[in-house]
Amino acid sequence: MFALSLLVSAALAPFVLGQNTSQTLAIEAIEANFNNSGIVPSLLATFAPTAVMTLSFQGTDGAVAPGQAFTDNTKVAPTPNLTITGGQYSATDLFTLAMVDAGPVGTDETKGQTRHWLVNGVTVTGDAAPFTVSIENGTAITEYAGPAPPANSGPHRYVIMLYSQPSSFQAPAGLNTANIGVSTYDFPAYVQDSHLGALVAATYFTVEAGTASFTPSATSAVVTSTLPAAASSAGSSATSSSSGSRATGSPTAGQNGSTSLSISLTAVFAAIAAVIVFN
């Protein structure tokens, strides 16, 4: 049985490695998005998430990509649906969920951010990823208020963040009771003063009303193929190819994952058969 366990582990190793690489690449991509959009370091001094947040709105087609632009704020009016992938969570883990308007790129964040959503005591539910970010039993300090940027003020960045909420958390005065309306506050100071823990995951989107009356600061797109995890994966693939494997095409990411799993399962069954025969 020990030999069987070793063989099964070896056969599944490539599939597990592929999953890890995909998760690492997704985290590197959102980190790059936050840097390129100026959210880091203007709003967040640093950003090292341990999970990837997926955002969707009722009435939109699928997940909202990080930095996705909207020109119709009615599409982002319903309360967002959020999931995270990465990490392990228990029913007793608590989090704080926040959404702020960080303004257009180049905004002086020292003047504060508009609070559009703030919920304490959030939980993460589910037996496997993607896990659901649940506000059902949380305390909504500020209920979700959809974006409403001033006309011609440029594309505003709406940043959604999930922080670990440790036992030492203490909501500051003025933001410690439910049903407080939308207003401006110093979000980084809130995080520090309330003793929130690590930033687990985050994403953002933009909303613009009308045409900007100025030229917004330029941002650069994230090219995932240039990220470290992609380069590492490409290097591993090249090594495998030079070792004698021959590709018959260029499968998509999903096809590649299915192929890897199929090969791994075939190897597992072969290993089981070998152990049975030789014992």
| Residues 88-106 pLDDT 10s | 999 999 999 999 999 999 9
Same domain, 70 and 118: yes
Query: Taking 70 as the threshold, does the pLDDT of residue 171 lie above it?
Result: yes
Same domain, 261 and 137: no
Same domain, 29 and 152: no
* Residue 18: band (very low, low, confident or very high) from pLDDT cuts 50, 70, 90: low
Range of the domain at 260: 1-37+252-279
Domain boundary among 170, 194, 218: 218
The answer as to whether 11 is a domain residue is yes
Same domain, 22 and 101: no
How large is the average pLDDT for residues 171-191? Answer: 97
Same domain, 128 and 171: yes
Q: In the prediction, which pLDDT does 8 show?
A: 35
How large is the average pLDDT for residues 177-186? Answer: 98
* Residue 236: band (very low, low, confident or very high) from pLDDT cuts 50, 70, 90: low
Same domain, 6 and 135: no
Q: In the prediction, which pLDDT does 14 show?
A: 45
Query: Taking 50 as the threshold, does the pLDDT of residue 58 lie above it?
Result: yes
The answer as to whether 60 is a domain residue is yes
Candidates 88, 86, 74, 76; CA nearest to 30 is: 86
The answer as to whether 104 is a domain residue is yes
Mean pLDDT, all residues of the chain: 82
Same domain, 90 and 126: yes
The answer as to whether 259 is a domain residue is yes
**Amino acid letter, 83:** T
Same domain, 90 and 190: yes
| Window from 199-208, 209-218, 251-260 with minimum mean pLDDT | 251-260
**Amino acid letter, 16:** V
The answer as to whether 53 is a domain residue is yes
Structure tokens at 126: 């589910």
Query: Taking 70 as the threshold, does the pLDDT of residue 256 lie above it?
Result: no
Same domain, 214 and 268: no
The number of distinct structural domains making up the chain is 2
CATH number at residue 65: 3.90.280.10
| Mode of pairing for the β-strands spanning 68-70 and 199-207 | parallel
What is the tens place of the pLDDT at every residue in 206-229?
999 998 888 877 677 787 788 887
Per DSSP, the residues of 68-137 read EEES-GGGG-SPPEEEEESS---TT--EEEEEEE--STT--GGG-EEEEEEEEEEEEE-SSSSEEEE-TT
Q: In the prediction, which pLDDT does 226 show?
A: 83
The answer as to whether 237 is a domain residue is no
What is the tens place of the pLDDT at every residue in 144-166?
999 999 999 999 999 999 999 99
**pTM for the full predicted model:** 0.78
3-state secondary structure at position 140: strand
What is the tens place of the pLDDT at every residue in 108-155?
999 999 999 999 999 999 999 999 999 999 999 999 999 999 999 999
Cβ atoms < 10 Å from Cβ of 189: 11
Q: In the prediction, which pLDDT does 261 show?
A: 38
The answer as to whether 242 is a domain residue is no
The answer as to whether 224 is a domain residue is no
Query: Taking 90 as the threshold, does the pLDDT of residue 275 lie above it?
Result: no
CA pair distance 49, 91, nearest whole angstrom: 21
Same domain, 24 and 52: no
Candidates 114, 167, 156, 160; CA nearest to 135 is: 160
Q: In the prediction, which pLDDT does 164 show?
A: 99
| Window from 71-75, 126-130, 175-179, 200-204 with minimum mean pLDDT | 71-75
Domain boundary among 193, 218, 243: 218
Same domain, 80 and 127: yes
Same domain, 70 and 201: yes
